[in-house]
Structure 1
């Protein structure tokens, strides 16, 4: 049985002034996919996310979210988003972990509404899903970069999204914690059935966690499952990136 289309990009081209940033992108993400998007700086990855999230308007082509054209799509609570917060977060911000995660419910319950018992239970459950339930009353600024990112994922999860988009989430995360972070994403995808889109430069470790890989450099040079990606050679990768690339395999 064919799984539901969560995202469909149909011949997307996007320009900044007169320069093509994305050229004729066709891409489908289905329910339960874990898609990793890789590519060099300036390859159009961030622009692609902004188009999917409705931040930038489509110039040419069509984007469909859950089967609906993006200009008609209203159910944005179905999509969670985690940005590079660990790299730029103000460590002096006085909010607790509970308050940060609870802020993810604002769209559902209103800006100035009081949180009820059921909302506090959802916050605790979201933190439990990312292994941070014991940090409920800690100040967010006291946490490590990796712990902060887990909290931000909990904030995205608390509203029960069906799609979670992460933009370079390991920026600012200690290298020793990156593997644990990817293990978490793997568990969210496999155990919760959450559809994931991850933008990253870290091609060495994430390919064994993702179900699909997309290589983007203005054009979509490759889109396939992780097994097909592993078959790409250094010459293929160098063509994608525009310079010599040597792929390192990580055996665990």
Structure 2
């Protein structure tokens, strides 16, 4: 097997906010091509960790490398896509089509007022197709369901060809049936396009058969390993880590 490169390396990372340690001594390596589910209770530091990875916060100690380069020197941000929680801050009354919203993901490459050529259009259509919205490309984003809007924002992140896609609880406000197909779409992007994914989620039970790895964060990194190893952890061990009872598995495996 060809050796995979680490896409993210976090070493001895500590982040303090108002003299309160939010993250303490985090060590985590994420290999290229993996699909990591990042779980943890509210206030466990998940969003802080994402902000450190996106270069928005500077940790007080420790080191982060992206694509084997120190984050402080890292310039290739177009290789990192980010989708926030139900991009709910987005004004859905805004008169823009799916195509236009996805196109806006190219501005960093094109510069703001450059005209799109045929190749760019093709790219936008491919990103829309990758998230299964081809037949809605001309629809106004305000007319879409929550799940379809979220797919649009993923397409917008995909259009600049990221190697790493970070999603912060993207299924907030999306109904259960849609969530299932949404995770299947992410799994497909991971397997077919080889994009490394980090998914922050509360929804452990739904994703444990979709992701390749799980990391449990609660100020410290309590667990990082393959999803099969995670499924083998007993409920009571997890409850201890979460501080309240938690039932992980909703799907039974044949014994």
Is TM (by shorter chain) over 0.5?
yes
Q: Secondary structure at the match of 1:72?
A: coil
Tell me how far 1:68 sits from its aligned partner. Answer: 0.4
Question: Per-residue deviation at 1:241?
Answer: 0.3
Q: How far 1:251 sits from its partner (Å)? A: 4.7
The SS at the match of 2:116 is coil
Q: CA deviation at 1:235?
A: 1.4
- Distance (Å, rounded) in 1 between the aligned partners of 2:234 and 2:155: 37
SS of match in other structure, 2:211 = coil
Structure 1: state its 5+ residue gaps. Answer: none
- 1:17 Cα deviation (Å)? 1.2
Instruction: Tell me which residue corresponds to 1:18.
Output: 19
Aligned to 1:63: 64
Structure 1 counterpart of 2:102: 101
Residue pair 2:86, 2:171 contacting (<8 A) in 1 also: no
Answer yes or no: is the 8 Å Cα contact 1:87–1:171 preserved in 2. no
Alignment TM-score, normalising by the size of structure 2: 0.96
The residue that corresponds to 1:168 in the other structure is 169
- The answer to whether the Cα contact below 8 Å between 2:214 and 2:230 also exists between their aligned partners in 1 is yes
CA contact (8 A) 2:7 2:68 kept: yes
Q: Which residue of 1 aligns with 2:209?
A: 208
- Separation (CA, whole Å) in 2 of partners of 1:86 and 1:141: 13
Contact in 2 for aligned 1:86/1:173 (Cα 8 Å): no
Runs of 4+ in 1 over 6 A off after TM superposition: none
Question: d(CA) in 2 for partners of 1:138 and 1:247?
Answer: 38
1:2: how far off? 2.1
Structure 2 counterpart of 1:114: 115
State how far apart, in whole Å, the 2-side matches of 1:89 and 1:174 are: 19
Stretch moving more, 96-105 or 236-245: 236-245
User: Which residue matches 2:39?
Assistant: 38
Shift in CA distance, 142/183, structure 1 to aligned 2, threshold 3 Å: same
Deviates more, 1:238-247 or 1:224-233: 238-247
| Distance of 1:149 and 1:46 partners within structure 2 | 18
1:249 is paired with a residue whose SS is coil
Residue pairs, 1:100-179, within 5 angstroms: 100-179=101-180
> Equivalents in 1 of 2:64, 2:101: separation in Å?
31
Match of 2:238 in 1: 237
Task: Report the CA distance between 1:116 and its aligned residue.
Answer: 1.0
Whole-Å Cα distance in 1 between the matches of residues 174 and 88 of structure 2? 8
Q: Which residue matches 1:28?
A: 29
The more displaced of 35-44 and 127-136 is 127-136
